[in-house]
Amino acid sequence: MIESIEGIITRKTEDRIFIKTASGLGFSVFFLKRNLGRVGEGEIKEIPVHFRVKEDGMELYGFISEKEKSAFRILVGISSIGPKTAMSILDHYSLDEIRQIAHNEDIDSLSLIPGIGKKTASRIILELAGKLVIKDEDLKLGNEFETAKEGLLGMGFEKDYIERKLSALMTASPDLKAAEIIKKVLKDG
């Protein structure tokens, strides 16, 4: 099975990159749209890939990291989620965000992705529950976030609400100071 391809990125389209290996073979690889800016034409890269064989041909799906590839494989392992839908999910959310969505059973966020309705979103979340386990250490907050959490609890906000908000903020802006964190939560809240 093909696990990665190393070569020169010869061109890019809106959803693919084309790689020419040192041996002269050229490969068309479906690629996450949000990662297209992270590879340049003429650049030599090793791209982790998922190789898929189907009735009418073969396809390669490429990623920036093994972590992304693993997330893709978990998603395509869910009944009725094909590679295109899995790529669409990964284009919208990082693996950590997907973990949070599954942990919080956030059907609304998942159903924002074109082609995924609430029924499909809830099935995805149900099937992800055992596959994308969030470890306790993943949920621990830094000192500034702990300080902000204590302040927000003192203001009367519910613990679950605060943890959801802080987790999202920590992913988006991990270097915020406690006062900035509280302001952002109050502004959204």
Among all chains, which residue has been given the structure tokens 């790689």? Answer: 19
Task: Give the pLDDT score at 137.
Answer: 38
Helix (H) or strand (E) holding 58: strand 57-62
- Taking the C-alpha atoms of residue 183 and residue 160, their distance in angstroms, rounded to an integer, is 18
Give span(s): CATH 2.40.50.140, the chain: 4-62
What fold is seen in the domain 4-62?
OB fold (Dihydrolipoamide Acetyltransferase, E2P) (2.40.50)
pLDDT of amino acid 10? 97
pLDDT averaged per 10 residues in sequence order, the chain, 189 residues:
92 96 96 93 95 90 90 85 93 84 88 90 82 46 71 79 80 77 80
| CATH 1.10.8 location in the chain | 140-188
What architecture is the 66-128 domain classified under in CATH? Answer: Orthogonal Bundle (1.10)
Domain with CATH 1.10.150.20 in the chain: 66-128
Q: What is the pLDDT of residue 135?
A: 42
Q: Are strands 4-12 and 16-20 parallel, antiparallel or unpaired?
A: antiparallel
Q: What is the pLDDT of residue 130?
A: 61
Q: How many angstroms separate the CA atoms of 40 and 35, rounded?
A: 10
Q: Quick one: CA dihedral 71, 36, 172, 188, positive or negative?
A: negative
pTM score, whole prediction: 0.66
- CATH node for 140-188: 1.10.8
* pLDDT of 143: 65
